[in-house]
Amino acid sequence: GEELRRTLAEKRQRHYHALLGAAEETVARRLREKEAEVEKAKRRNAELEARAAQVSVEVQVWQAKARAQEATAVSLQAQLQQAIMSGATAHDNRRGDEGLNCAGGGVERQAEDAESAYVDPDRVVASGPVCRACRKRAAAVVLLPCQHLCLCTECDRVAQACPLCLTARNSSVEVLLS
C-alpha cells in the first residue's frame, strides 16, 4: 500500500511537472509573440512619426509657396490696376479733348452714354488672363502642382489636367482678383 501511494505520488508529481512545463512553454511562446507585436508596433509608430514630421515640413513649404504666390498675385493686381488707371486717364483725356471740339451734341451724347452703359455678358472682355478652356471668362483658378493661372471657376469643375502643360491636377486654388 505504501509503495502504491509513493508510486502514485511520484506519478502525480511528474504529471504536475509536465503540466507546469507545458503551461510555461505556452506562456513563454505567447509572451514572445506579444513582444514581437510590441516591437512591430514601435517600428510602425516611429515610421508614422517620421512621416508626420515630413508632412509637416511639406505643409510649411506649401504655405511659404502660397504666401509667395499670394504676394505675386497682389503685386500683379496692383500693376494691373495701375495700368487700367493709366489707360483710363489717357482715355478720359482723349475724350475731354473730343468734348471741347464738339459743338453741342447734348442729346446725342446722352444716348451714346446710355448705349455704352449696357454690358452684353456674351461680349464682355475679361480683364487679365482669359480662361484657356472656354476662352470666354477671366481665369481665376490656379492649378496645382503646375501653378498655372489658366481656368475660370466653371471650367475648373470639369478639368482633369492643366490646359497649358497637360499636367494632371492634384487640386486648385481660386484667386480673388479685386
Average the pLDDT over each of 53-67, 80-94, 124-138 and give the range with the smallest value. Answer: 80-94
Alpha-carbon distance 177 to 77, whole Å?
7
Quick check: 63 pLDDT over 70?
Answer: yes
Put simply, whether the predicted model's pTM sits higher than 0.85 gets the answer: no
pLDDT at 81: 84
pLDDT at 1: 86
Spacing of C-alpha 42 from chain mean position: 31
Kindly state the percentage of the chain with pLDDT values over 90: 58
Integer distance in angstroms from the first to the last C-alpha of the chain?
A: 109
pLDDT at 26: 96
User: Mean pLDDT score of the chain, rounded to an integer?
Assistant: 83
Indicate the domain borders of the chain.
1-87, 127-177
Higher pLDDT, 92 or 129: 129
Average the pLDDT over each of 36-45, 75-84, 116-125 and give the range with the smallest value. Answer: 116-125
pLDDT at 86: 79
Alpha-carbon distance 85 to 95, whole Å?
15
Alpha-carbon distance 157 to 173, whole Å?
12
Q: Is 138 exposed, middle or buried (0-12, 13-18, 19+ CB in 10 A)?
A: middle
Helix%, strand%, coil% for the chain, nearest 5? 65, 10, 25
pLDDT at 14: 95
pLDDT at 102: 47
CATH topology (fold) of 127-177: Herpes Virus-1 (3.30.40)
Higher pLDDT, 119 or 165: 165
Quick check: 75 pLDDT over 70?
Answer: yes
Under the banding of pLDDT at 50, 70 and 90, the label for residue 176 is confident
Residue 76 corresponds to which amino acid? L
Q: Pick from 159, 165, 142: which is nearest to 73 by CA?
A: 142
